A = this chain, B = another copy of it.
Amino acid sequence: MARYRVGLETRERILSATRRLLAEVGIEGVTLKAITAHARVGAGSFYNLFASKDDAVFEVIREAIESVDPDPAGAGADTLDDLVDAFVAFMTGSSPIARIYLQLAGRGLTDPSIASRVLRSHRRRVERFADAWQREDPSLSEAEAVARAEVMLGALTGLGMTALIDPSFDMRAHANELLPSQQGVAVPPLS
């Protein structure tokens, strides 16, 4: 619907406000009033650019789900270290998107349509981690590699959740424990 420059700018302002609000107050806490207030637009302007509130929210959600996969361009060449590093960076970075993604996972427990989206992106990620496992240890069968990838991603997700709830949690140190190359290496004491 947006054709003029000002309209496209307003659209971006709305999406930016929605992104921030999703991270701060959660999916259910986002109201149209809050979005329009933060984006400094009237309700009429909003509905001139989006069909509904959910339209804007889902736009941001899609963006969140897609950006969980770190560096999707370099597919097929990552080492396990790279993948874990990228995942940790995504979780502990300043972007609100990681918060949104983890909330979505929780919401997938009750909303089937969100569950299927989250699951699909999860399966893609498992595949990439499994490939990396097999490159690291070619003696692994595919099933074994997939199983290890599943456990590793489960752990990374769980650690990410702890890290986002508890800012003092050192996710990177704990995530390194998961790497076969670091097996048994001590984690530095918590500050």
Give CA–CA (A92, B182) in the complex, Å.
Answer: 31
A109-B164 CB under 8 A given contacts A157-B158, A158-B153: yes
A151-B165 CB under 8 A given contacts A144-B186, A158-B156, A186-B141: no
CB of A56, distance to nearest CB on chain B (Å): 18
Residue A81, interface by CB 8 Å: no
Cβ-defined contact, A105 with B151, below 8 A: no
Cβ-defined contact, A151 with B178, below 8 A: yes
Residue A97, interface by CB 8 Å: no
Copies of this chain per assembly: 2
Partner of A154, one of B25, B28, B111, B162: B162
Cβ-defined contact, A108 with B147, below 8 A: no
Partner of A99, one of B109, B119, B141, B152: B109
A residues at B contact (CB < 8 Å): 23-29, 99, 102-103, 105-111, 115, 118-119, 122, 141, 143-144, 146-148, 150-159, 161-162, 164-166, 173-174, 177-178, 186-187, 189-190
